[in-house]
Structure 1
Amino acid sequence: MRRQDDLEDRAGWLIWLQGLLADRGYDVTSARSGDKTRFALDAGLAPATVTRILGGKAPDLEVQVTLSRFLGVSLDELLVRTGKAEETDFHHSMNESGHTAVSSETRLTPEELAVAAGFPREDREWFATMVRRLRKQADENGSAAGGAAAEG
C-alpha cells in the first residue's frame, strides 16, 4: 500500500510536469486535444510511455534523460522531482547558484527566456516585448551589445 506522502509527491511531480508542458503549448490534461500524442512525438517518446507518466508512474532513467533534454531541465532536478533521488544525492544544491543553464546552442525566444528566468506568466509578454525592443534598438544603433545583453 502506498503511503500518503508518496501520493502527494506523485501529484506534485505531475502538476510540475503539466505546468512545464503547458508553458510549451501542450495541454496534456485534455483527452481530446491531441497534445499527449504531439508531446510524445516531439519528445521522442512512445505514446504509451507518455500515458503511463501522466497516469502517475515515474519514468525510468532512460525516459528521464529524454525528458530532461526535451524540457531543458537538469537530470538531477528531474530525478528529485520524480522521487528517484534526493537532493542530497548530488554534490550541489539545485538552488545553490540561482542560475539556469542552457544546454543547447539553439537561440532562445524571448518567451522561452522569460520562462527559463522564472518570470510569472502575467509578466512574460512584457519581458518578451522589452527584449525585442532592446534587440531592435541595438540593430538600429549598429551595436551588438544591447542585443547580446537582451538574449541572456
Structure 2
Amino acid sequence: MRRRDDHEEEQAGWLTWLQGQLAERGYDVTSARSGDKTRVSVDAGIAPSTLTRILGGKAPDLEVQVALSRFLGIPLDELLIRTGKATEADFQHSRNESGQTAVSSENALTPEELAVLAGVPRDDREWFVTMVRRLRRAGDAHGSAAGGAAAEG
C-alpha cells in the first residue's frame, strides 16, 4: 500500500515535470501574469479552471490526460504513470529493445505527427513538415518509395 507522503512526493514530481514540458514548448505557467495558463488551456483544449486545479496539485482525470497527451505529444501511458494513476506494469509496451516506438506501415504518419513524435520544437515544426513533404515528393518523382519511407520513419 502506498504511503500518503509517497503520493505527495510523486505529485510534486509530476507537477515539476509538467511545468518543464510546458516550458520546453514556450509556456511559462509559473508566472501569474504571463498569460500562458490561458494559452495552454486554449492550445490543449482544456478548461482554464481544470488547468488551475492541475497546477494546484490535483491529478487530472483520464479525459484531461488524453488531451494533455495529444497536446504535449507524449504517450498516454507515460502521463498515467507520472500522475500515479498507473504503473509501468499496467502496460504492455509496443517498444522494441532500443526504446523506439513501433510504427505500422499500414497507417502512414502525417508530417505533423512525425514532428511531434520526433520531439521537434514547436518553432521548428513548420520547417520540419515542409522538409518531410519535399522528401516524400522527391521519392515519388524518382519512382522510389525510399524517399517517402525514410521520411515516414
Shorter chain as normaliser: what TM range?
A: 0.5 to 0.7
Distance in 1 of aligned mates of 2:114 and 2:75: 21
Distance in 2 of aligned mates of 1:25 and 1:94: 30
Match for residue 2 of structure 1?
Answer: 4
1:64 aligns with 2:65: yes
Alpha-carbon offset, residue 145 of structure 1: 5.7
CA change 1:42–1:23 in 2 (3 A) is: same
CA change 1:19–1:79 in 2 (3 A) is: same
1:17 aligns with 2:18: yes
Residue by residue over 1:4-50, the C-alpha shift from the partner in whole angstroms, topping out at 9 and shown as x without a partner, is: x2121011111111121112111111111100110001111000000
Higher relative contact order (CA 8 A, sep 6+): 2
Paired residue total: 140
Distance in 2 of aligned mates of 1:72 and 1:33: 23
Q: CA RMSD in A?
A: 3.8
Q: Secondary structure at the match of 1:115?
A: coil
Match for residue 35 of structure 2?
Answer: 34
Long gaps (5+) in structure 2: none
Letter in 2 for 1:74: P
Distance in 1 of aligned mates of 2:51 and 2:148: 38
Residue by residue over 1:72-131, the C-alpha shift from the partner in whole angstroms, topping out at 9 and shown as x without a partner, is: 1111111111000111111x2486541147899442499856636xxxx9xxx9xx9xxx
Distance in 1 of aligned mates of 2:53 and 2:11: 13
Distance in 1 of aligned mates of 2:108 and 2:51: 24
How many percent identity over aligned positions? 64
Long gaps (5+) in structure 1: none
Q: TM-score, normalised by structure 1?
A: 0.67
